[in-house]
Structure 1
Amino acid sequence: MALNHSIERGSPDEGSTSDRETQLIGRVALYAFLVNVGLAGMKAALAFFSNSLAVTAGAIDSGTDAVASLVLFAGVKLSTRKSASFPLGLYKIENLLSVFVAISIFFAGYEIARRILQESLVPPEISLDILLLLLAGTVVTYLFGLYALRVGRRTGSPTLIAEGKHRQVDVLSSVVVLAAVLPPFLGWDFEVRGVSIDQVAAGVVLLFIARAGWELLSDGMRVLLDASADFKTLTDVREILLGHPLVTEVRSLTGRNAGRFRFLQASVAVRTDNLEAAHRISGELETAIRDKIPHVERAMIYCEPEPRVNVRIAVPLADREGTVSRHFGEAPYFGIVTLRTSDGEIQARDLVENPHSQVGTGKGLRVAERLVELKVDKVYVTEDISHKGPGYVFGNAGVEVGMTASERLDEITDEIASRRRWLRTDLHRK
């Protein structure tokens, strides 16, 4: 029997954090389009008046960026919509459009390479106005790139991360263009084996473009082909699952990204076969994952009961010799005994010190939480704690609490071992 629980992100009407992030991403994508249109227009005019191959390369780059940014803006608007045909949403549109950006970068690189191989007959004419406008465009590109990257990393949007990385490349290429137009502005005109500095600069820009395009293409294709979520995310999710007191094993864990959202699925072994308890455990695990892992769109947790081989019994002790303590929270030690369910034979004995015995307030609650972390199945006490903090902690964690009048730990374990039916049945129904 496998019990599962699945919770999805709220609908856009709920005004959730993810929806606010989507609106922010849309605004930044629109800003990117406007910036790229402005830069493309300016560089095209400067290329026309300067006759510089390096400036022309920059204009081609900005022109393709403007087209790509327009499509990206439309993609962000469409990516969160759901329909009967696409019940999981269109989040991968962001990754698809990141691939489109990469292709547009390669197209720009092709155009630049084609111009480099052509013979340059007319040397560039660079004025102070052209130099200053190119410098201003570089500064604008740099500042907007920082802004897009910051928003992209905060929201996890591959679209804005792609935009920010592309702007970084543009800054480097803009610096190269500035270095190329400076000598003609100063009246220096020289070639190396028939290759002008203008052509060399355009070639360097081409290298920047090729590298950026490959990074965006490979990252986008990984998501489109449903590559696994990154190792850190899966490791963090595994730690969350194993941190639950009733989870004994993570049997499978998979995850994938779609846009900036994550889809996770796990199968865990739990120490219960109670339907209500399993459903509650799944909900608790999903909530913990959403609290600690950003941008989780869907988490599906399958709970499978684990055959009980051993049970762990905890008893508060007054000393190391096994004398039962009459005070739960103030007990200096806890004896933890592991019994085999088939015949009641003792498998292990552990003596655990109580680090909270001298705490002023809340000691019982802290001790209960510690025993839950140690994954005990039943706690024997001499006082009724069912309506106190420790009792509620044990109840929520599925730990059974029993009363005892015995004065020695050995007496309790002998009594339990003699009642093998409780080990095999009652505890299994928790």
Structure 2
Amino acid sequence: MRGRLGAPGALTGPQLFLLGASFLITIGSFAVLPYMSVLLHERFGLGLGVVGAVLAVASLVQFSGGVVGAALAARIGLRATMLVALAVRTAGFAAFVPGLTRPAVAVGALFLVSCGAALYLPANKAYLVAGCGQERRPALLAASGSAFNAGIALGPPAAAPFVLTSPAGLFTGVAVLFALVGMGHVLLPSVADEAGAAEEERAPGTEEEASGAQRSLPLPPFAFTVLAVYVFMFFQHYLALYAVPRTSTAFYGTVLMGCAILLVIAQPLFARRLAALRYAAALRVGFGAMAAGTAVLALGGRAGIAVGAVLLCFGEIVLFLKNDLEALDRSAAPSATVFGRQRLAAGLGAFAAAVVGGQLYEAAERASAVPVFWVLVSAQAVLLPALLVMYVAGTARRRAGGELAGARHPR
């Protein structure tokens, strides 16, 4: 039996369950994944070059595999896809136990976990917003983001005492957690992922404005998601290298915890305002905050690092949520397909940041000018979106010119 979620009013039971499941799943995942470099290198004896390659490929699979998850959801449905994904992730975490003595098994377990994440997230978000009007999507997606960020904040400190002392017990506990969450998903009602719902349910009075904005400059959410994640991942990948020697590990951990709390609280608070904000304005605000944040990081010191981190988190709140909402509004494809494409965009941005950032940071270190690294990132946050807008505008003008010429000189 198929149902519709998201009727006006409070959250439904399935929606509450999914938000709680997102929190638990992220706690379990981040109880293990942030420590994989340590485990692979120190416990399993893999070289740092091999560790880096394994983690890079696993990250790319986790992000870009969202397209496969969307395709699977279109074939077997949202609930069934989530069940398959959770079964794969449960098997992956369980396989880490025999992997403690077999490095090849441990690497295979990591890829199973990554594949499970790729399959789960598009179906999870699509199920959460299925049957909801356009006006309810911002709050639901913001709540989902808050649930994930809360799990990200709590997972690593919860697992820290057990990672090196009793990893087998940690992996077993996480596998049991995923199995229990998967059993809960069995009870969810089957829900259709409706194609074209964004166009059919557009809020009254917005059709003319939205169509006019698209005719004037059809800014592509996929491309801006690539750029947003690309800029933000410099912060994620390299803040530790920059901040810890200049402050302390305790201060760095406090900054990360503060950012996570900010995301959990601020995303739902700003959700409706972001939904009402024009896309071009949101891009200016979001990339402007990221540019300012990375520029402030270059100042160094506790104040510079703390303020820069807050500005970057604000940019993340604006861009990540607005890009997802805009992608949904502009597409007639099923929601899972849209979210899968957005995950692919995020994967491309994260991969590019890892490749480019390593070269830039190494060059800055060799020149004894590490703050210049953040200045270069800030410049990219300004220039790359501007260049993309110019490219899109030029393409739109050429297309319009071609259509006008064709109208004047019909064959």
Q: Same fold (TM over 0.5)?
A: no
Higher strand share: 1
TM-score (norm 2): 0.24
Provide TM-score, normalisation by structure 1.
Answer: 0.23
Which structure exhibits the higher relative contact order, with contacts defined as CA atoms closer than 8 Å and separated by 6 or more residues?
2
Tell which structure's C-alpha radius of gyration is larger.
Answer: 1
The structure with the greater share of residues assigned to helix is: 2
